[in-house]
Structure formats: structure tokens, C-alpha cells
Amino acid sequence: MIRLVVGLGNPGKEYERTRHNAGFWLVERFAQASGVHFRKDAKYQALVARLEGSGAWLLLPQSFMNASGRAVQMLAGFFKIKPEEILVAHDELDFAPGVARIKQGGGIAGHNGLRDISQRVASHDYWRLRIGIGHPGDKDAVADYVLHKPSQEDKVAIDEALGRALEILPLCLSGDMQGAIQKLHSSEPKPKKVEAPKAEEKPKTEAKPKAEAKPVAKKDEAKNEPPKQASRQEAPAQAKPGLLKSLFGKK
């Protein structure tokens, strides 16, 4: 059973809408939906609220991200809350906006808030509710990326993930962690398939029909006249003019 729900973020107006405060966003909405209000507790250096019925605590550390573990350690120590009874909501670089998942234990993946909590409570066995914010693509750009507001498109996707996460928090508080996991993960939207752009097809040039070879017409055929048949009787050879003269010139 979850007895302490922690939201991670940075205090102050300049950070309240930045990606790193996704954990704050979830726990603040849960408190509002549950009808409870946070109060500032100087002893824990945190905003604290307690749910009626279950008696579970909601906690928003106010000592900046890299010192989040102090408030968790003090409140959990005072009320004897075990690590496996703690759920930490935080931003997750490795998930795209719109993704939200739960797991218990594991590494800290470079998250300063998780690092401080693990060191303070001397355990990795607490539960994590990871809210995807996407990755800038360059590890050197991460620090600047998480401290800026998400784009409008990403903000819409993150809000949808927060809405699905809110629905399973009552299951976590009742101790049905497997039911919470199944419900949250099965409701995750499927990623859209990105189709590769089709190469532009060049218009096909129609092959010109080859000109049919015209039969070579005979001279007579070219004039559309029937071919003349060769005469069987050849014309007699003309007499040579010199010979006639010699024959008829004599008396």
C-alpha cells in the first residue's frame, strides 16, 4: 500500500511550467481532485497534504530538485513509511510526451531528484511514476531542455498522460499496484506510424510506335499502274543507215 506520494520539481514561479516539474503537476492535480490543500511545513521544507480516508501523505519538496530527498527522508522517517510504500512522480527523458508508466526500483537514469532520494532513504525500492517529456537529442542540451516549457503539442500530450495517471492513483493507495500498472500501461496510446515519403515517380513517356517500313514500290506501282508485261516478240533491230544508202544508191 502506498502511504506517501511525492511529486518532484523546482519551487518558484519561473519553474512551475517547465518540463522538470511534471511530478509537481501530477500531485497538485491529485490533491485538487481529492479536495485537499497543501500547507507549507518548514520542518520538512516542503508542501504537505494528507488524504482523508487512506491517510496517505502528499509531498512537494521545496528545496530544489537535487535536494528532494531531505523532505522524503524526514517525513518517511517520522511516520515510519518504508521505501516500498513510497511513490515518486517525476519527469522522464526516455519517454515521449504522452507516455506514463509505473515501476518499482531500478536505476536513477541521471535524475538528480531520484539520486538524492535513493541516497537519503538508502534504497532504490520505492515506486516511480514516470511521466514522459521527450529528449532533446543531445545529452549536452538536457539541462537547458528540462528547465524550459514544452511546446504546445507536447503539453497537450503530457496533460493526457497526467489524466491517465490520475485515474490509477486510487489503486496505488489501496495496494493494487498490479492493477494500477495494467490499467495505466494498457491505456497508453499507440505511437503513430510514420510512413516514409514516396519517391516522386517520373511521368512515363509513351514510346512512339515505330514507323512501319513501307514496301519499295516498283516504278509502275508508284504510278498505280499495273506492271507492263514483257513482249514476247522483240522489235526488229533498226538497219544501219549506211547500209541502206549503199543498197539503194546503186542502179
Q: What is the pLDDT of residues 84-114, one digit of tens each?
A: 999 999 999 999 999 999 999 998 888 999 9
Cα–Cα separations (whole angstroms), residue 190 to 114, 160, 167, 195? 28, 13, 19, 15
pLDDT given for residue 39 in this prediction: 96
**Side chain identity, residue 141:** A
Mean pLDDT throughout 196-219? 55
All domains in the chain, ordered by first residue: 4-186 (3.40.50.1470)
Residue whose grid cell is 501523505? 57
More confident residue, 214 or 109: 109
Rounded CA separation 239/14 (Å): 131
Which residues sit opposite 7 in a β-bridge?
89
Supply the DSSP symbol for 102: E
- The three cell numbers locating residue 180: 494500477
CA-nearest of 180, 143, 179 to 20 is: 143
- The three cell numbers locating residue 53: 480516508
Mean pLDDT throughout 234-239? 46
pLDDT in tens, 50-84: 999 889 999 999 999 999 999 999 999 999 999 99
More confident residue, 248 or 125: 125
> What is the pairing mode between strands 127-132 and 100-104?
antiparallel
- Answer yes or no: 124 catalytic: no
pLDDT band with cut points at 50, 70 and 90 for residue 227: very low
CA-nearest of 39, 35, 122, 131 to 83 is: 122
pLDDT in tens, 169-197: 999 999 999 999 999 999 887 765 545 55
Supply the DSSP symbol for 75: H
Model confidence, pTM: 0.75
Average pLDDT, the chain: 84
Where helices occur in 62-176 by DSSP H, the ranges are: 69-78, 112-121, 142-146, 152-174
CA-nearest of 132, 157, 160 to 146 is: 132
- Among the listed residues 20, 90, 124, 135, the single catalytic one is 20
pLDDT band with cut points at 50, 70 and 90 for residue 234: very low
Most confident of 29-38, 182-191, 203-212, 223-232: 29-38
Residue pair 89/8 in contact (Cβ under 8 Å)? The answer is yes
